[in-house]
Amino acid sequence: MDNLIANEQMRILRLEEVKARTGLSRSTIYHYMNNDLFPASIKLGYRCVGWIESEIQRWIEEKTKAI
């Protein structure tokens, strides 16, 4: 995980929020993760994962630059 600026709050997004922000399906998100094309999830508990909001935002920004 990248170092975060000290005053930047870290927020964790669950799958439904990641899907809503990216427009990707669950299977596409996991396919991209398995091929190192999407930020990795972090384990929050048993059968519970999330994604760092800033990493998802950075991924979206990189994708929109390519357009």
Between 51 and 67, residue with greater pLDDT? 51
For 51, half-sphere exposure in the C-beta direction (CA atoms, 13 angstrom radius) is 22
Mean confidence (pLDDT) of the chain: 91
- Distance between CA atoms of 11 and 44, rounded to whole angstroms? 13
- Distance between CA atoms of 46 and 32, rounded to whole angstroms? 22
Which tens digits make up the pLDDT trace of 8-26?
A: 679 999 999 999 999 999 9
Query: Under 8 Å CB-to-CB from 27, ≥6 apart: which residues?
Result: none
Domain boundaries, the chain: 12-65
Which value, in Å, is the radius of gyration of the alpha carbons in the chain?
12
